[in-house]
Structure 1
Amino acid sequence: MPRPRSLTDDQLVAAALAVVDRDGLSALTMRAVAKELGVATMGLYRYVADRQALELLVVDHVFRSVDLALPDAGWQERVHVLLDRMRVAVARHPAVVPLVLRHRQAAPASLRLIEAMLAVLTDGGFDGTDRVLAQRTLIGHLLGFLQNEHFAALSGPGTIVMSELSPDEYPLLARTATDARSVSPDEEFRRGLDIVLRGLVTNRARADGPVP
Protein backbone atom coordinates (compact mmCIF):
# COMPACT_ATOMS: atom_id res chain seq x y z
CA MET A 1 0.00 0.00 0.00
CA PRO A 2 1.14 3.61 -0.48
CA ARG A 3 2.78 5.49 2.36
CA PRO A 4 0.13 6.89 4.74
CA ARG A 5 -0.89 10.44 4.03
CA SER A 6 -1.45 12.92 6.83
CA LEU A 7 -4.70 12.02 8.54
CA THR A 8 -6.87 14.13 10.81
CA ASP A 9 -8.89 12.87 13.76
CA ASP A 10 -12.06 13.61 11.79
CA GLN A 11 -10.89 11.36 8.97
CA LEU A 12 -10.08 8.58 11.41
CA VAL A 13 -13.49 8.89 13.04
CA ALA A 14 -15.30 9.00 9.70
CA ALA A 15 -13.56 5.80 8.62
CA ALA A 16 -14.28 4.08 11.94
CA LEU A 17 -17.96 5.06 11.81
CA ALA A 18 -18.21 3.89 8.22
CA VAL A 19 -16.98 0.45 9.31
CA VAL A 20 -19.26 0.33 12.35
CA ASP A 21 -22.38 1.59 10.56
CA ARG A 22 -21.88 -0.86 7.70
CA ASP A 23 -20.53 -3.97 9.43
CA GLY A 24 -21.26 -3.60 13.15
CA LEU A 25 -19.12 -2.88 16.18
CA SER A 26 -17.39 -6.27 16.11
CA ALA A 27 -15.89 -5.29 12.73
CA LEU A 28 -14.10 -2.27 14.19
CA THR A 29 -10.41 -3.18 13.98
CA MET A 30 -7.29 -1.26 13.13
CA ARG A 31 -7.00 -3.32 9.96
CA ALA A 32 -10.58 -2.52 8.87
CA VAL A 33 -10.18 1.20 9.49
CA ALA A 34 -6.85 1.26 7.67
CA LYS A 35 -8.47 -0.45 4.70
CA GLU A 36 -11.30 2.10 4.76
CA LEU A 37 -8.70 4.88 4.61
CA GLY A 38 -6.59 3.16 1.98
CA VAL A 39 -3.48 2.97 4.14
CA ALA A 40 -1.34 0.17 5.57
CA THR A 41 -2.45 -1.12 8.96
CA MET A 42 0.88 -0.29 10.57
CA GLY A 43 0.69 3.19 9.10
CA LEU A 44 -2.50 3.81 11.09
CA TYR A 45 -0.53 3.47 14.33
CA ARG A 46 1.20 6.74 13.46
CA TYR A 47 -2.07 8.47 14.29
CA VAL A 48 -3.77 6.35 16.96
CA ALA A 49 -2.19 4.03 19.53
CA ASP A 50 -4.68 1.17 19.40
CA ARG A 51 -8.35 0.26 19.02
CA GLN A 52 -9.23 1.68 22.45
CA ALA A 53 -7.81 5.06 21.47
CA LEU A 54 -9.80 4.87 18.25
CA GLU A 55 -12.98 4.07 20.19
CA LEU A 56 -12.35 7.10 22.40
CA LEU A 57 -12.10 9.34 19.33
CA VAL A 58 -15.43 7.97 18.09
CA VAL A 59 -17.24 8.60 21.38
CA ASP A 60 -15.77 12.08 21.63
CA HIS A 61 -16.97 12.83 18.09
CA VAL A 62 -20.50 11.61 18.85
CA PHE A 63 -20.84 13.76 21.95
CA ARG A 64 -19.09 16.75 20.40
CA SER A 65 -22.11 17.09 18.10
CA VAL A 66 -24.41 17.81 21.07
CA ASP A 67 -25.39 21.47 21.34
CA LEU A 68 -24.76 22.66 24.91
CA ALA A 69 -26.68 25.93 24.46
CA LEU A 70 -29.82 25.22 26.48
CA PRO A 71 -33.09 27.17 26.42
CA ASP A 72 -34.02 29.72 29.05
CA ALA A 73 -36.36 27.37 30.90
CA GLY A 74 -36.78 25.51 34.17
CA TRP A 75 -34.14 23.00 35.17
CA GLN A 76 -36.33 19.98 34.43
CA GLU A 77 -37.03 21.17 30.90
CA ARG A 78 -33.31 21.78 30.36
CA VAL A 79 -32.56 18.24 31.54
CA HIS A 80 -35.09 16.97 29.00
CA VAL A 81 -33.47 18.96 26.21
CA LEU A 82 -29.91 17.96 27.06
CA LEU A 83 -30.62 14.25 27.45
CA ASP A 84 -32.73 14.16 24.30
CA ARG A 85 -29.92 15.80 22.33
CA MET A 86 -27.53 13.16 23.65
CA ARG A 87 -29.99 10.44 22.68
CA VAL A 88 -30.31 11.82 19.14
CA ALA A 89 -26.54 12.11 18.74
CA VAL A 90 -26.01 8.45 19.63
CA ALA A 91 -28.96 7.35 17.47
CA ARG A 92 -27.11 8.51 14.35
CA HIS A 93 -24.75 5.57 14.93
CA PRO A 94 -26.67 3.00 17.03
CA ALA A 95 -23.88 0.41 16.98
CA VAL A 96 -21.66 2.67 19.09
CA VAL A 97 -23.91 2.42 22.16
CA PRO A 98 -21.54 -0.04 23.90
CA LEU A 99 -18.66 2.36 23.25
CA VAL A 100 -20.61 5.19 24.88
CA LEU A 101 -21.02 3.07 28.00
CA ARG A 102 -17.34 2.14 27.96
CA HIS A 103 -15.78 5.56 27.37
CA ARG A 104 -18.29 8.12 28.64
CA GLN A 105 -16.05 9.02 31.60
CA ALA A 106 -12.95 9.55 29.46
CA ALA A 107 -14.01 11.32 26.26
CA PRO A 108 -13.48 15.12 26.65
CA ALA A 109 -16.81 15.97 24.99
CA SER A 110 -18.58 13.58 27.34
CA LEU A 111 -17.01 15.30 30.33
CA ARG A 112 -18.28 18.66 29.03
CA LEU A 113 -21.78 17.19 28.79
CA ILE A 114 -21.58 15.95 32.36
CA GLU A 115 -20.43 19.40 33.47
CA ALA A 116 -23.39 20.98 31.66
CA MET A 117 -25.80 18.58 33.35
CA LEU A 118 -24.31 19.27 36.76
CA ALA A 119 -24.78 23.00 36.14
CA VAL A 120 -28.46 22.43 35.39
CA LEU A 121 -28.89 20.29 38.51
CA THR A 122 -27.14 22.95 40.58
CA ASP A 123 -29.61 25.52 39.27
CA GLY A 124 -32.35 23.11 40.34
CA GLY A 125 -31.10 23.20 43.93
CA PHE A 126 -29.10 19.97 43.99
CA ASP A 127 -25.72 19.87 45.69
CA GLY A 128 -23.49 17.43 47.55
CA THR A 129 -24.49 13.78 47.40
CA ASP A 130 -27.96 14.73 46.13
CA ARG A 131 -26.32 16.13 43.01
CA VAL A 132 -24.11 13.05 42.65
CA LEU A 133 -27.07 10.69 42.82
CA ALA A 134 -29.26 12.85 40.59
CA GLN A 135 -26.62 12.97 37.86
CA ARG A 136 -25.91 9.23 38.07
CA THR A 137 -29.62 8.41 37.98
CA LEU A 138 -30.25 10.56 34.91
CA ILE A 139 -27.27 9.09 33.05
CA GLY A 140 -28.46 5.63 34.06
CA HIS A 141 -31.85 6.36 32.52
CA LEU A 142 -30.26 7.59 29.30
CA LEU A 143 -27.85 4.67 28.94
CA GLY A 144 -30.50 2.11 29.78
CA PHE A 145 -32.88 3.66 27.27
CA LEU A 146 -30.24 3.68 24.53
CA GLN A 147 -29.61 -0.01 25.06
CA ASN A 148 -33.31 -0.78 25.01
CA GLU A 149 -34.05 1.42 22.00
CA HIS A 150 -31.34 -0.02 19.81
CA PHE A 151 -31.05 -3.59 21.08
CA ALA A 152 -34.42 -4.42 22.65
CA ALA A 153 -36.97 -1.89 21.41
CA LEU A 154 -40.56 -2.11 22.63
CA SER A 155 -41.68 -2.46 19.03
CA GLY A 156 -38.99 -5.06 18.32
CA PRO A 157 -39.25 -8.82 17.82
CA GLY A 158 -38.77 -9.64 21.50
CA THR A 159 -41.88 -7.72 22.51
CA ILE A 160 -43.87 -9.21 19.64
CA VAL A 161 -42.95 -12.72 20.77
CA MET A 162 -43.91 -11.96 24.36
CA SER A 163 -47.23 -10.45 23.29
CA GLU A 164 -48.08 -13.78 21.67
CA LEU A 165 -47.42 -15.85 24.80
CA SER A 166 -50.24 -17.87 26.26
CA PRO A 167 -52.45 -15.51 28.31
CA ASP A 168 -53.29 -18.43 30.59
CA GLU A 169 -49.65 -19.02 31.52
CA TYR A 170 -48.38 -15.42 31.31
CA PRO A 171 -51.46 -13.19 31.68
CA LEU A 172 -49.67 -10.02 32.80
CA LEU A 173 -46.62 -10.42 30.58
CA ALA A 174 -48.67 -11.07 27.45
CA ARG A 175 -50.99 -8.14 28.15
CA THR A 176 -48.15 -5.76 29.05
CA ALA A 177 -46.15 -6.71 25.95
CA THR A 178 -49.22 -6.05 23.81
CA ASP A 179 -49.60 -2.60 25.37
CA ALA A 180 -45.87 -1.96 24.92
CA ARG A 181 -46.06 -2.40 21.15
CA SER A 182 -48.01 0.86 20.88
CA VAL A 183 -45.41 2.92 22.79
CA SER A 184 -43.08 4.92 20.53
CA PRO A 185 -39.42 5.45 21.50
CA ASP A 186 -40.10 9.17 21.95
CA GLU A 187 -42.94 8.51 24.38
CA GLU A 188 -40.96 5.88 26.26
CA PHE A 189 -38.02 8.23 26.71
CA ARG A 190 -40.04 11.32 27.59
CA ARG A 191 -42.43 9.70 30.06
CA GLY A 192 -39.69 7.61 31.62
CA LEU A 193 -37.59 10.72 32.17
CA ASP A 194 -40.60 12.49 33.71
CA ILE A 195 -40.89 9.64 36.22
CA VAL A 196 -37.19 9.89 37.07
CA LEU A 197 -37.35 13.67 37.54
CA ARG A 198 -40.41 13.44 39.80
CA GLY A 199 -38.60 10.83 41.86
CA LEU A 200 -35.52 13.05 42.22
CA VAL A 201 -37.63 15.97 43.39
CA THR A 202 -39.55 13.81 45.87
CA ASN A 203 -36.39 12.23 47.23
CA ARG A 204 -34.74 15.60 47.72
CA ALA A 205 -37.82 16.94 49.54
CA ARG A 206 -37.78 13.98 51.91
CA ALA A 207 -34.06 14.42 52.56
CA ASP A 208 -34.57 18.09 53.36
CA GLY A 209 -37.27 17.24 55.87
CA PRO A 210 -40.51 19.11 56.59
CA VAL A 211 -40.54 22.82 55.97
CA PRO A 212 -40.88 24.70 59.28
Structure 2
Amino acid sequence: MPRPRSLTDDQLVAAALAVVDRDGLPALTMRAVARELGVATMGLYRYVADRQALELLVVDHVLRSVDLALPDACWQDRVRVLLDRLRVAVARHPAVVPLVLRHRQAAPGSLRLIETMLAVLTDGGHEGVDRVLAQRTLIGYLLGFLQSEHSAALSGPGTIVLSELPPDDYPLLARTASDARAVPPDEEFRRGLDIVLRGLAPP
Protein backbone atom coordinates (compact mmCIF):
# COMPACT_ATOMS: atom_id res chain seq x y z
CA MET A 1 0.00 0.00 0.00
CA PRO A 2 1.40 3.46 -0.85
CA ARG A 3 2.82 5.82 1.77
CA PRO A 4 -0.09 7.61 3.45
CA ARG A 5 -0.82 11.12 2.29
CA SER A 6 -0.84 13.97 4.78
CA LEU A 7 -4.04 13.68 6.78
CA THR A 8 -5.81 16.37 8.75
CA ASP A 9 -7.72 15.87 11.98
CA ASP A 10 -10.92 16.61 10.06
CA GLN A 11 -10.20 13.76 7.65
CA LEU A 12 -9.44 11.37 10.51
CA VAL A 13 -12.67 12.32 12.29
CA ALA A 14 -14.75 12.05 9.12
CA ALA A 15 -13.41 8.55 8.49
CA ALA A 16 -13.97 7.49 12.10
CA LEU A 17 -17.54 8.82 12.08
CA ALA A 18 -18.23 7.08 8.77
CA VAL A 19 -17.20 3.79 10.35
CA VAL A 20 -19.20 4.38 13.53
CA ASP A 21 -22.34 5.63 11.77
CA ARG A 22 -22.32 2.70 9.35
CA ASP A 23 -21.11 -0.19 11.50
CA GLY A 24 -21.49 0.90 15.13
CA LEU A 25 -19.03 1.81 17.86
CA PRO A 26 -17.47 -1.69 18.24
CA ALA A 27 -16.30 -1.41 14.62
CA LEU A 28 -14.16 1.64 15.41
CA THR A 29 -10.63 0.27 15.08
CA MET A 30 -7.43 1.71 13.68
CA ARG A 31 -7.60 -0.85 10.88
CA ALA A 32 -11.17 0.11 9.94
CA VAL A 33 -10.39 3.83 9.88
CA ALA A 34 -7.22 3.24 7.86
CA ARG A 35 -9.25 1.24 5.35
CA GLU A 36 -11.81 4.05 5.17
CA LEU A 37 -8.99 6.48 4.37
CA GLY A 38 -7.26 4.15 1.93
CA VAL A 39 -4.01 4.02 3.88
CA ALA A 40 -2.02 1.31 5.63
CA THR A 41 -2.96 0.70 9.25
CA MET A 42 0.57 1.39 10.46
CA GLY A 43 0.55 4.65 8.50
CA LEU A 44 -2.36 5.87 10.62
CA TYR A 45 -0.14 5.81 13.69
CA ARG A 46 1.77 8.75 12.24
CA TYR A 47 -1.30 10.86 13.08
CA VAL A 48 -2.88 9.31 16.18
CA ALA A 49 -1.23 7.23 18.89
CA ASP A 50 -4.03 4.72 19.34
CA ARG A 51 -7.79 4.20 19.32
CA GLN A 52 -8.23 6.26 22.49
CA ALA A 53 -6.59 9.26 20.82
CA LEU A 54 -8.87 8.75 17.83
CA GLU A 55 -11.93 8.63 20.11
CA LEU A 56 -10.83 11.88 21.72
CA LEU A 57 -10.62 13.57 18.31
CA VAL A 58 -14.13 12.37 17.50
CA VAL A 59 -15.62 13.63 20.76
CA ASP A 60 -13.82 16.96 20.44
CA HIS A 61 -15.14 17.39 16.89
CA VAL A 62 -18.74 16.62 17.88
CA LEU A 63 -18.72 18.93 20.89
CA ARG A 64 -16.93 21.79 19.15
CA SER A 65 -19.85 21.95 16.73
CA VAL A 66 -22.08 23.22 19.56
CA ASP A 67 -22.72 26.97 19.34
CA LEU A 68 -21.81 28.45 22.73
CA ALA A 69 -23.26 31.91 22.04
CA LEU A 70 -26.35 31.92 24.23
CA PRO A 71 -29.33 34.30 24.19
CA ASP A 72 -29.80 37.06 26.73
CA ALA A 73 -32.28 35.21 28.91
CA CYS A 74 -32.74 33.75 32.39
CA TRP A 75 -30.27 31.06 33.41
CA GLN A 76 -32.84 28.29 33.02
CA ASP A 77 -33.58 29.24 29.41
CA ARG A 78 -29.87 29.45 28.61
CA VAL A 79 -29.40 25.95 30.04
CA ARG A 80 -32.31 24.73 27.90
CA VAL A 81 -30.74 26.21 24.75
CA LEU A 82 -27.28 24.86 25.52
CA LEU A 83 -28.42 21.33 26.34
CA ASP A 84 -30.72 21.19 23.34
CA ARG A 85 -27.85 22.21 21.05
CA LEU A 86 -25.65 19.58 22.65
CA ARG A 87 -28.36 16.96 22.29
CA VAL A 88 -28.75 17.76 18.58
CA ALA A 89 -24.98 17.68 17.97
CA VAL A 90 -24.51 14.30 19.64
CA ALA A 91 -27.69 12.85 18.12
CA ARG A 92 -26.24 13.29 14.62
CA HIS A 93 -23.95 10.39 15.56
CA PRO A 94 -25.84 8.49 18.29
CA ALA A 95 -23.28 5.68 18.48
CA VAL A 96 -20.73 8.11 19.94
CA VAL A 97 -22.77 8.69 23.12
CA PRO A 98 -20.56 6.28 25.15
CA LEU A 99 -17.48 8.13 23.87
CA VAL A 100 -18.87 11.47 25.04
CA LEU A 101 -19.38 9.96 28.48
CA ARG A 102 -15.89 8.44 28.48
CA HIS A 103 -13.97 11.50 27.28
CA ARG A 104 -16.09 14.39 28.57
CA GLN A 105 -13.33 15.49 30.97
CA ALA A 106 -10.52 15.36 28.40
CA ALA A 107 -11.79 16.66 25.05
CA PRO A 108 -11.09 20.41 24.70
CA GLY A 109 -14.51 20.93 23.12
CA SER A 110 -16.10 19.36 26.19
CA LEU A 111 -14.12 21.57 28.56
CA ARG A 112 -15.28 24.71 26.71
CA LEU A 113 -18.85 23.48 26.94
CA ILE A 114 -18.59 22.73 30.66
CA GLU A 115 -17.06 26.16 31.30
CA THR A 116 -19.99 27.78 29.51
CA MET A 117 -22.50 25.77 31.53
CA LEU A 118 -20.75 26.65 34.79
CA ALA A 119 -20.89 30.34 33.87
CA VAL A 120 -24.65 30.06 33.28
CA LEU A 121 -25.14 28.25 36.59
CA THR A 122 -23.05 30.88 38.37
CA ASP A 123 -25.27 33.61 36.92
CA GLY A 124 -28.21 31.66 38.33
CA GLY A 125 -26.82 31.82 41.87
CA HIS A 126 -25.10 28.42 42.05
CA GLU A 127 -21.77 28.35 43.88
CA GLY A 128 -19.44 25.79 45.42
CA VAL A 129 -20.76 22.27 45.88
CA ASP A 130 -24.22 23.38 44.74
CA ARG A 131 -22.72 24.32 41.36
CA VAL A 132 -20.83 21.01 41.17
CA LEU A 133 -23.98 19.00 41.75
CA ALA A 134 -26.09 21.14 39.42
CA GLN A 135 -23.63 20.69 36.55
CA ARG A 136 -23.27 16.95 37.15
CA THR A 137 -27.03 16.53 37.36
CA LEU A 138 -27.62 18.33 34.06
CA ILE A 139 -24.94 16.34 32.22
CA GLY A 140 -26.25 13.12 33.76
CA TYR A 141 -29.76 13.94 32.58
CA LEU A 142 -28.57 14.73 29.05
CA LEU A 143 -26.40 11.63 28.64
CA GLY A 144 -29.05 9.39 30.14
CA PHE A 145 -31.66 10.85 27.82
CA LEU A 146 -29.46 10.35 24.76
CA GLN A 147 -28.90 6.71 25.64
CA SER A 148 -32.61 6.18 26.21
CA GLU A 149 -33.63 8.05 23.07
CA HIS A 150 -31.39 6.02 20.80
CA SER A 151 -31.50 2.66 22.58
CA ALA A 152 -34.88 2.53 24.31
CA ALA A 153 -37.13 5.29 22.98
CA LEU A 154 -40.58 5.65 24.55
CA SER A 155 -42.14 4.90 21.17
CA GLY A 156 -39.87 1.88 20.66
CA PRO A 157 -40.62 -1.84 20.85
CA GLY A 158 -39.72 -2.12 24.53
CA THR A 159 -42.46 0.30 25.54
CA ILE A 160 -44.94 -1.47 23.28
CA VAL A 161 -44.19 -4.78 25.02
CA LEU A 162 -44.62 -3.18 28.44
CA SER A 163 -47.92 -1.59 27.44
CA GLU A 164 -49.25 -5.05 26.59
CA LEU A 165 -48.47 -6.58 29.98
CA PRO A 166 -51.47 -8.08 31.83
CA PRO A 167 -53.11 -5.11 33.56
CA ASP A 168 -54.23 -7.31 36.44
CA ASP A 169 -50.59 -8.04 37.28
CA TYR A 170 -49.01 -4.71 36.30
CA PRO A 171 -51.76 -2.08 36.31
CA LEU A 172 -49.54 0.98 36.71
CA LEU A 173 -46.71 -0.25 34.50
CA ALA A 174 -49.03 -1.22 31.64
CA ARG A 175 -50.94 2.07 31.86
CA THR A 176 -47.79 4.18 32.13
CA ALA A 177 -46.16 2.42 29.18
CA SER A 178 -49.31 2.99 27.15
CA ASP A 179 -49.19 6.72 27.98
CA ALA A 180 -45.48 6.82 27.17
CA ARG A 181 -46.00 5.62 23.61
CA ALA A 182 -47.63 8.96 22.77
CA VAL A 183 -44.70 11.09 23.99
CA PRO A 184 -42.35 12.25 21.20
CA PRO A 185 -38.62 12.58 22.03
CA ASP A 186 -38.62 16.39 21.89
CA GLU A 187 -41.42 16.62 24.42
CA GLU A 188 -39.84 14.00 26.66
CA PHE A 189 -36.54 15.90 26.65
CA ARG A 190 -38.08 19.33 27.21
CA ARG A 191 -40.46 18.35 29.99
CA GLY A 192 -37.91 16.16 31.72
CA LEU A 193 -35.40 19.02 31.68
CA ASP A 194 -38.05 21.34 33.12
CA ILE A 195 -38.41 18.95 36.08
CA VAL A 196 -34.64 18.91 36.61
CA LEU A 197 -34.37 22.69 36.41
CA ARG A 198 -37.15 23.19 38.94
CA GLY A 199 -35.23 20.95 41.32
CA LEU A 200 -32.02 22.91 40.73
CA ALA A 201 -33.52 26.33 41.43
CA PRO A 202 -31.54 27.99 44.27
CA PRO A 203 -33.50 28.22 47.53
Aligned residue type for 1:139: I
Aligned residue type for 2:89: A
Q: Deviations over 1:91-124 (max 9, x none)?
A: 1001111111111111000000000000000111
Q: Give the match's secondary structure for 1:39.
A: coil
Write the distance in 1 (CA, Å) between the matches of 2:178 and 2:31. 45
Write the distance in 1 (CA, Å) between the matches of 2:162 and 2:2. 54
Question: Once superposed, which parts of structure 1, at least 4 consecutive aligned residues long, lie more than 4 Å away?
Answer: none
Q: Give the match's secondary structure for 1:21.
A: helix
Write the distance in 1 (CA, Å) between the matches of 2:46 and 2:21. 24
Following superposition, the deviation at residue 160 of structure 1 comes to 0.7
Provide the residue aligned with 2:36 in structure 1.
36
Q: Deviations over 1:153-177 (max 9, x none)?
A: 1111110111111111111111000
Write the distance in 2 (CA, Å) between the matches of 1:109 and 1:154. 30
Q: Which stretches in structure 2 are left out of the alignment for 5+ residues?
A: none
Q: How many residues align?
A: 203
Following superposition, the deviation at residue 37 of structure 1 comes to 0.1
Write the distance in 2 (CA, Å) between the matches of 1:179 and 1:88. 25
Write the distance in 1 (CA, Å) between the matches of 2:168 and 2:100. 41
Q: Give the match's secondary structure for 2:43.
A: helix
Give the structure-2-normalised TM-score: 0.99
Write the distance in 1 (CA, Å) between the matches of 2:141 and 2:24. 24
Q: Give the match's secondary structure for 2:99.
A: helix
Provide the residue aligned with 1:190 in structure 2.
190
Write the distance in 2 (CA, Å) between the matches of 1:101 and 1:144. 10
Q: Deviations over 1:48-103 (max 9, x none)?
A: 00001000000000000000000011110000000000000001001111111111
Instruction: Give aligned-pair identity as a percent.
Output: 88
Q: Which stretches in structure 1 are left out of the alignment for 5+ residues?
A: 206-212
Aligned residue type for 1:71: P
Write the distance in 1 (CA, Å) between the matches of 2:185 and 2:37. 35
Write the distance in 2 (CA, Å) between the matches of 1:123 and 1:8. 38
Provide the residue aligned with 1:112 in structure 2.
112
Provide the residue aligned with 1:4 in structure 2.
4
Write the distance in 2 (CA, Å) between the matches of 1:159 and 1:123. 39
Provide the residue aligned with 1:24 in structure 2.
24
Aligned residue type for 1:181: R
Q: Deviations over 1:125-163 (max 9, x none)?
A: 111111111111111110110110011111111101111
Provide the residue aligned with 1:49 in structure 2.
49
Q: Give the match's secondary structure for 1:33.
A: helix
Provide the residue aligned with 1:208 in structure 2.
none
Write the distance in 2 (CA, Å) between the matches of 1:71 and 1:21. 32
RMSD between superposed Cα atoms in Å:
0.6
Provide the residue aligned with 1:210 in structure 2.
none
Give the structure-1-normalised TM-score: 0.95
Write the distance in 1 (CA, Å) between the matches of 2:56 and 2:152. 25
Provide the residue aligned with 2:62 in structure 1.
62
